[in-house]
Chains A and B, each alone.
Chain A
Amino acid sequence: EVQLVESGGGLVQPGGSLRLSCAASGFTFSSYEMNWVRQAPGKGLEWVSYISSSGSTIYYADSVKGRFTISRDNAKNSLYLQMNSLRAEDTAVYYCALDYYDSSGYEYWGQGTLVTVSS
């Protein structure tokens, strides 16, 4: 059974940093592209970042480019999101999402981890 479990969220002050993790199981993690998607409280979904299976190709939303870094450790079946220079508008639930069947849709999502940026 495919499982994605995010962790690392919490309360951080503006300008601070946080590192999110997504532990993957139930599939061959090293063979799959991964994404981060976020959802601000009461708002819609926003794609954040993409990483290829090898980590060689990475994309970011304009809203986080230069501040966030996506990475993965295929040996540990883990996906990461390093978030620096955090702003109030980064407050959201962050999900890791998997396009398992290469359909361009995300069939599997984690439960999400809440990041709150506030002083």
Chain B
Amino acid sequence: QSALTQPASVSGSPGQSITISCTGTSSDVGGYNYVSWYQQHPGKAPKLMIYEVSNRPSGVPDRFSGSKSGNTASLTISGLQAEDEADYYCSSYTSSSTLFGGGTKLTVL
């Protein structure tokens, strides 16, 4: 049950696009189309932003998109806004658990 690998931090200016990667193995990210992404602001509970690799829950802006290639999933945020500054976590379903990534701190410059 090793955590998925994410970059510790990314940054971008308002209006720009950024991408956060999430690398696992063929037993988790690569083996299922069940990758989710969460946004977490300080002191708050996580919020689901993407599920099943590329689907957005109702209410999540279409600036947020997800994809996957092999054992690596990605979250792209386009048209960065100040309120996007937060921690982002990927997760993947496995046959008997859920794995989370270590988290990525997004700074909007």
Point out residues on A near B: beta carbons under 8 Å. Answer: 35, 37, 44-47, 50, 59, 61-63, 95, 101, 103-107, 109-112
B64 within 8 A of partner (CB): no
With beta carbons under 8 angstroms apart, the residue of A106, A111, A112 that contacts B36 is A106
14 A–B contacts from the bound complex (CB under 8 Å): A37-B98, A44-B101, A44-B103, A47-B91, A47-B99, A50-B97, A59-B96, A61-B1, A101-B51, A104-B51, A105-B51, A106-B38, A107-B51, A107-B57
Hey, which chain B residues are within 8 Å of A109, CB to CB?
45-47
Residues of A within 8 A of B55 (CB): 103
User: Smallest distance from the beta carbon of A56 to chain B beta carbons, Å?
Assistant: 14
Given contact pairs A104-B34, A105-B51, A35 touches B98 in the complex (Cβ within 8 A): yes
Q: Does B102 contact A (CB under 8 A)?
A: yes
Residues of B within 8 A of A110 (CB): 45
Give the CA-CA distance A35 to B46 in the complex, in Å: 14
Main secondary structure, interface of A, reads loop
- Measured as residues with beta carbon below 8 angstroms from the partner, the interface class of chain B is 20 to 34
Question: Contact string, B28-50, partner A, CB cutoff 8 A, digits 1/0?
Answer: 00001010101010000111101
* B32, B45, B97: residue with the most chain A Cβ atoms closer than 10 Å: B45
Name the CB-closest residue of B to A46.
B100
Task: Let me know if A112 and B101 touch, CB within 8 A.
Answer: no
> Is the pair A44, B102 in contact by a Cβ cutoff of 8 Å?
yes
A40: min CB distance to chain B, Å: 12
Nearest Cβ distance between residue B78 and chain A, in whole angstroms?
Answer: 21
B contact residues around A103 at 8 Å (CB): 36, 51-52, 55
- Name the contact of B46 in the complex, choosing from A45, A62, A63 (C-beta under 8 A): A45
- Alpha-carbon separation in the docked complex, A79 to B53 (Å): 28
Closest to A62 in B: B1
> Which of A46, A47, A61, A112 lies in contact with B45, CB distance below 8 A?
A112
What residue in chain A is nearest B55 (Cβ atoms)? A103
Docked CA distance A78–B35 (Å): 27
